[in-house]
Structure formats: C-alpha cells, structure tokens
Amino acid sequence: MEKLFINFSALIAADKAGIPSVSADDVLANGLNLVYFLAAVIAVIVVIIGGVLFATSAGNAASVTKAKNMILYAVVGLVVVLAAFAITNFVNGRFS
C-alpha cells in the first residue's frame, strides 16, 4: 500500500525543471524599481510637455503660469521618486 504514494517533490526539483527560484525580496525590489522607473519616465515627459507649453505660450500669463507649475511639480515628483528609491533600497539592504 505504501508504494501507491509517490513523493513528487523528490522526483522533480525546481532547479531541474527550469523553474527559477526567486525570493520575496527580489520580487519586491524588482516591482518597486519598475514603479520608480515608470514614475521617472512620466515626470520627464511632463517636463518636456511643460517646456513646449512654455515655449508656445506667446506671452499669455495663464499659459506661462501653467507651464511653470507643470515643470515645478514634475521636478518635485522626480525628487520624491529619487528619495523613495534611496530609502527603500537602504531599508531593503539593511534587512537582507
């Protein structure tokens, strides 16, 4: 009766089956890096759009103010993303 039960985990190991072994720390770090990258790309695009709006404002005070605010908020966003990146990498490095 004992021979009917097969231990499949002993027959197929994860490394022999080609399944990658990834830790939770690596998954978290990769996910956060992806989010930081996307946020930085979006902020750079907003800076470019703000620059184009500023260049094409033709002296209109409302358009100039809108463009300056877009650039300012995008730069502040980049600083926040950079600070979050530094903090999370520091914390992740301390606990691993």
pLDDT, one tens digit per residue, over 39-88 is 999 999 999 999 999 999 988 999 999 999 999 999 999 999 999 999 99
pLDDT, one tens digit per residue, over 80-95 is 999 999 999 898 888 7
Residue ranges per domain, the chain? 22-95
Three-state SS sequence of 52-82: HHHHCCCCCHHHHHHHHHHHHHHHHHHHHHH
